[in-house]
Each structure stands twice: as structure tokens, then as C-alpha cells.
Amino acid sequence: MSEPSFRAKFACSEGCDFRASLTEVVYRCPTCGGLLEVRHDLSALRSRAASEWRSLFDSRFGAARLPLASGVWGKREWVYPDLEDGDIVSLGEGRQPLLPLPRLAAELGLASVDLKQCGISATGSFKDLGMTVLVSAVARMRRLGRRVRAVACASTGDTSAALSAYCAAAGIPSVVFLPRGKVSLAQLVQPISNGALVLSLETDFDGCMRIVQEVTRDPSIYLANSMNSLRLEGQKIVAVELCQQLGWEAPDWVIVPGGNLGNAGALGMGFELMLSLGLIDRRPRIAVAQAEKANPLVRAFRSGFADLSAVQAQPTLATAIQIGSPVSMRRAARTLRSFDGVVEEAAEQDLSDAAARADLEGAFTCPQTGVALAALSKLARAGTIARGSRVVVVSTAHGLKFYGFKEGYHRGTLAEVDGRWRNPPVEVRATAQAVEEALDRRLG
Ligand SMILES: Cc1ncc(COP(=O)(O)O)c(C=O)c1O
Ligand SMILES: [Zn+2]
């Protein structure tokens, strides 16, 4: 039997009838200016039964070699169906652990809390999931003769790390726009090592985003921010993979930290696709978590999404989501409406304690994940997340990228934070007796 031909194209996400090939350099609908989305041919995808999709994806989950060993490309028919093997630029993204936190779940009266560890990845954040798709798409465009001199992004750190690594793998030049002094050293050193042109600008992320949008009006400089919907095609796999890991069931709640808000929309797209193809039969509720210091979506939620205005983001420990003017705000609002969603915020103290608390159960969480975990506690204690719920928290980056935050927490040097779970190193004389005394003090 021949393979059914699966297809996908760009479509206006606001409902206009604009369509374009995925090889076109286009980011917005020319009619309404809205963002685009990748629209799959659902009737072709429906030619396979839900049970067939499940067993196909399950059989590939153990694949040994790339590209099918990638969690994204193991589901390639749902991502970018007509991409050829030779175009795929993969660093082995996806297939990331779902780490149970049973003690936290018990404390909050929940059936389960699982951390979807998207930071366990080539460049240490969930951005790899989307970047493999975008850079593969660029490799295809270049093969087809389109002139793309470089791929560019504005970044709070993680996007630039992912872009530069995938471009390095593909041999494609990359350019990253970073807000000077606002990304961690671990993040900064990644694009430098991968050979990107690193532009350090005296502005914040929102300022970098404005400039990169101007610069990428030149179609030979391709835009890699999440307003480019190719990224979301990879990021939506987080939703699919976590349901797969739960035995093809949706949890009751998914909590995700939100900055530019691409991820929130991407999760919604993953769940929608599984619902329309019958792989899951119920909608989870979605909670987006923001830092109090950069909370435009929190304010929008309070207005019933009537007011989607930007805010001036204030400095927060959760630097990767220090964004006041999210590009994907409308898309996130739509997602929250259809997933009976909520938006919650976290103070600096709470996000820091929540991250440290999860580490005591074997994780090593970044401050953004701390925001999501603090929101989880607030929502569970308020009863919004009902007792007995099954919750998945999306952990978006590896804590090692934010070692300054971790170190500062445990040393007690973070502004506005008096760490409840501080565990600084104990200084002892180098004698067995002094060490034994220290052991007794700690272990009783
Ligand atoms: C670690 C981390 N968490 C969360 C986010 C927010 O994701 P989004 O911009 O898709 O809302 C980002 C990037 O912006 C990030 O780097
Ligand atoms: Zn439109």
C-alpha cells in the first residue's frame, strides 16, 4: 500500500484565506497582519486510525538512529510531512523524561505532579524542539535555491543558543540579537561557541525583537523567533509526547511558563491535533505562569482578554521570560479560551523557593520552571486545581544554564529572596572529627 500523501502549508491564524508554501519567506498574513500557523491536511492524516498513529509513534520512540530517534522527527508526518531526510537537521531533540514529583504532589493533595523536562536537550532548553524544524526548513529552502544568507533571532538567551547550534550543524550562518547584560553567561557562551554573529544590544528583549523584525524585512535574513510558526510545529510535540508518556492520556492540567507566549500556543496546537485525530479524548486545562515583574498575560486574563496591552517588563530572576510585549499574545489568549485556561503569576521569593523545592526531589530547575511550580502551588492551594488532579509542569530549561541563580539562592545573595530551602556548603576543618560532628549535626 502506498503512503498517503500528508501535506502542510502556512495559513493565517486569524481566519483569513491566505495560504503559502512552507518554503516561502513569510511570517504574517498580508491581509490582516496576523501571525501564521502551519495547517496540516487533516483528512489525509485521518486516513490512519488513532490506534495506527499510536503504534507508529510508540514503535519509533525506541528508534536508535536519527532522524527517527528524535522525538520531533519520530512524529514527522505531524510536523513537516514533505521534508526529505537529507534536509533534517537534528541534534537528537525530544524524548525527554517525565519526572514524577510524588512528595510535592502529596503535599498539594494532587494525584500526581510530573515535570516534563524539556531542558534535558542539546542546548539545554525546549527551544531545540522548534529550532530543529525551523533550521531544517531553511536547509530545504536553500537546497531548492532560495537565497537565505543567514538565520536571525532576538533572544533572552535560550533561543539564540538553539538557533546557533542547529545552524552550526547545518553549516548555515546565524545572527543573534541579545539584550546586553540580561542573559546568563552560560547562555551567552553558547552562540559564541557555535560561531554565530552575536550582537549585544543596549536594550531589553522587547527592543531586540523590534530590531530583528526590521532587519528581517530583507528576505535573505530569515527570522527564527517563535512568531515564525515553523518553530511551534516542533514545540507542539511536547504536548504529544507527554500524553504518549502517560499512556496516550491527557493530564487534567498542564502548566507552562510564558514569555513571548509561543509555547502556550504550541501546546494547544499539539492537544488539538491529538483530539482531532482521536489519540486523546479529553482536553487538559492549561495554566500559563508569568513572573509578577513581567506579567502582561496576567493582566490580560484579569480583563477577560479584552485588553491585550504590553507592559514594561521589570528585572526578574526569571530572565528568559522578562518580556513585556509578547509577540504571540493573541494566539495564547485563544489557546487559553479553548482549554479553559488560567494565568497565574509568581513573586521572586516564590519562584525561587519553588525551584529549590523541586530540586530536593531530584530535579535541577531553572527560574522559569520555578515560576510554573510556584503557580502550581498557588492554584492548588486556591482550589483552582482540584484535589486529586494529575498535573504536568513543563520545565523549559536546564538549571545548569542558570547556575548564578542557583548559587545565589543557596548563598543567600539574591535580591528580594530569603531562601526557605537554602543549603550552602558547610565549611569544616579537614579532620575526621570535624567531619563527624558536621554529619551528626545534619543527620542526627
Ligand atoms: C527557559 C525558558 N522558559 C520559558 C520561555 C518562554 O517561552 P515562550 O516565549 O514560548 O513563552 C523561554 C523563552 O522565551 C525560555 O527560554
Ligand atoms: Zn489574516
* 17-61 tens-digit pLDDT: 999 999 999 999 999 999 999 999 999 999 999 999 999 999 999
Task: Find out whether 96 and 120 touch, Cβ atoms under 8 Å.
Answer: yes
Is ligand 1 within 6 A of the CB of residue 67?
no
In the predicted model, what is the mean pLDDT of residues 427-444? Answer: 97
Q: Is the pLDDT of residue 260 over 50?
A: yes
**Mean pLDDT score, 327-347:** 97
Angstrom distance (rounded) from CA 221 to CA 167: 13
Q: Check: CB of residue 154 under 8 Å from CB of residue 393.
A: no
- Mean confidence (pLDDT) of the chain: 97
Q: Which ligand is nearest to the CA of 15?
A: 2
* CA distance to 138, 168, 185, per residue, from 148 (Å): 8, 15, 29
Residue of 320, 349, 352 lying closest to 157 (CA atoms): 320
Is the per-residue pLDDT at 222 higher than 80? yes
- Residue 28 CA, chain-centre distance (Å), reads 21
> Does any ligand 1 atom lie closer than 6 A to the CB of residue 232?
no
Q: How many Å lie between the centroid of ligand 1 and the Cα of residue 439?
A: 40
pLDDT value of residue 1: 40
pLDDT tens-digit map of 129-163:
999 999 999 999 999 999 999 999 999 999 999 99
Give 98-124+231-411's CATH code, choosing from 3.30.360.10, 3.40.50.1100, 3.40.50.720, 1.10.510.10: 3.40.50.1100
What pLDDT is attached to residue 171? 98
User: Which residue out of 208, 209, 263 has the highest number of ligand 1 atoms within 8 Å of its CB and is therefore the one to mutate?
Assistant: 263
- Residues 80-115: tens digit of each pLDDT: 999 999 999 999 999 999 999 999 999 999 999 999
pLDDT tens-digit profile of 155-209?
Answer: 999 999 999 999 999 999 999 999 999 998 888 999 999 999 999 999 999 999 9
From the alpha carbon of 397, which atom of ligand 1 is closest? 1
Which of 115, 126, 316, 330 best tests ligand 1's pocket when mutated (most atoms within 8 Å of CB)? 126
11 alpha carbon, closest ligand:
2
Provide the strand spans (E) within 155-192: 174-179
pLDDT, average across residues 260-285: 97
pLDDT band at 5 (very low <50, low <70, confident <90, very high): confident
Is the Cβ atom of 265 under 6 angstroms away from ligand 1? no
Distances from the Cα of 195 to the Cα of 109, 172, 179, 215, angstroms: 48, 10, 18, 20
Atom of ligand 1 nearest to the CA of 119: 1
- Cβ within 8 Å of residue 441, ≥6 positions away: none
The three cell numbers locating residue 326: 509578547
366 lines ligand 1 (CB under 6 A): yes
Residue 2 DSSP label: P
Proportion of the chain above pLDDT 70, given as a percent: 99
Mean pLDDT of 316-341: 97
Asked if residue 2 has pLDDT above 50, the reply is no
Mutate which of 120, 131, 153, 156 for ligand 1 pocket (most atoms within 8 A of beta carbon): 156
Pocket test for ligand 1, best of 396, 398, 402, 403 (most atoms within 8 A of CB): 396
User: pLDDT tens-digit profile of 357-405?
Assistant: 999 999 999 999 999 999 999 999 999 999 999 999 999 999 999 999 9
User: Residue 399: CB within 6 Å of ligand 1?
Assistant: no
Ligand 1 in reach of 260 Cβ (< 6 A): yes
For 419-423, what is the mean pLDDT?
98
Q: Distance between CA 273 and CA 395 in Å, rounded?
A: 22
Q: Is the peptide bond before 4 cis (omega within 30 degrees of 0)?
A: no
* Rounded distance from Cα 22 to ligand 2 centre (Å): 16
Name which residue sits closest to atom 13 of ligand 1, judged by CA. 320
C-beta of 320 in contact with ligand 1 (< 6 A): yes
